Structure 1
């Protein structure tokens, strides 16, 4: 299980990623011609933009893994953010069939490369955030799940696994004002951001946040389903209403 402030092991994350790949493939089956021009959950982006981005970030992070296992480093995108943005725009003009084929091919490439990563490889350095291979895989997990939901196809954030939601609580903690407590309305999770470490149902807390009760009882509290709380943290509209005053979020870390 995930702990606040911690990361899942590589094989655990990879199992969740493979599930996400399969759900995305199923979702792509409903991308009939013309549907790619429909709106996504991201302002100013069509479904084609989202799928173009999914393909691009999949290939970019896959090459992080390909080079890392050889002991080499490479930039996430050749040309940096401008090249990334240009690639999304160029890819978004493709048809539904072309986008489906491109994304499917990118997923197959990812499975071939990431599937060959061994237990001793996860701490190999990568250029992504000057981190390691495990961090890069966590990034692909986030990008895959969040943007699959953004595409407004078969899957949505309501299908996110619990472990992804808990990971998003940790990763997105810098967006949240200290002292806010998120409470799962249909489960045991209570997560206070910026609080001292406390032991809760999912492990020990960390500097960014903790699972456990706010003993003072004075922190602002927002309640909702775990997937809806995670959706809000990720800057997406929850599927069901959250109870409590929602503070303004900071930028994506």
Structure 2
């Protein structure tokens, strides 16, 4: 049965908390946005550049489809206790994306939807106890299975934008954007980079990136702050009108 009581609440440095139920909801919303983003794409449409340097839309779609299958492996792990890695190896992960991006448009779109639907169906079958079982991510992190919906929601929501067919960060749920900013800011705070103070004025949320130099104040709409934090746009300007500091890789 679907668990709606199992959850992980994390205090947000922005304006709220992220729960298990939130992440399940965002994963569904993000998947639907992804389906909308690829609707009607033919071979030429998939071959067009995405928002990610060096990747076509087909690369992004194949990556999202492969991610659903990889997370399904972790769902199987949580359900059975049988260790099932997300990917056999980094090389196999890359090869799978290359195979997928070469598919004809109709087959790639079908794989994208089929893999997403299969993942949701498998998560629906997990019991409360199984959701608490630990699994290991592709990055080597040991996490409870309750983290999987968040991993999926982050994947589909952000890559729906990366497909560059019209979906923007402004189309994503505001509570998801806050949770994503929390997540990205925490990762950036642990890595080298410029000191930045971020303020999403309309909702009163803010994030601090401790780093080198005097902190630069960057303000803007929540969706602009999110795009900047995730490296998807140059972002809003600093409060003094200068360009916001360049940030390194997020993931």
TM-score tier after normalising by the smaller chain length: 0.7 to 0.9
What's the TM-score once normalised by structure 1's chain length? Answer: 0.81
Deviation at 1:130, TM superposition (A): 1.6
Superposed counterparts of 1:191-202, under 5 Å: 191-194=207-210
What's the TM-score once normalised by structure 2's chain length? Answer: 0.82
- Measure, in 1, the Cα distance between the counterparts of 2:210 and 2:11: 15
Contact 2:225 2:236 in 1 (8 A): no
Deviation at 1:4, TM superposition (A): 1.9
Instruction: Return structure 1 stretches of 4+ with deviation > 4 angstroms.
Output: 176-179
Root-mean-square deviation (CA, aligned residues, Å) is: 2.4
Deviation at 1:71, TM superposition (A): 2.2
Deviation at 1:193, TM superposition (A): 3.3
- Measure, in 1, the Cα distance between the counterparts of 2:237 and 2:103: 37
Does 1:107 pair with 2:116? yes
Contact 2:182 2:207 in 1 (8 A): no
**Residue 6 of structure 2: aligned partner:** none
Length, aligned pairs only? 229
**Residue 177 of structure 2: aligned partner:** 165
Deviation at 1:51, TM superposition (A): 0.4
Superposed counterparts of 1:59-78, under 5 Å: 59-78=69-88
- Measure, in 1, the Cα distance between the counterparts of 2:17 and 2:248: 22
Deviations along 1:4-25, one digit per CA (max 9) or x if unpaired, are: 2696232221011111222222
Contiguous gaps of at least 5 residues in structure 2: 1-8
- Measure, in 2, the Cα distance between the counterparts of 1:65 and 1:132: 11
**Residue 117 of structure 1: aligned partner:** 126
Structure 1 stretch displaced more, 158-167 or 115-124: 115-124
* Larger fraction in strand: 2
Contact 2:169 2:223 in 1 (8 A): yes
Contiguous gaps of at least 5 residues in structure 1: 196-217
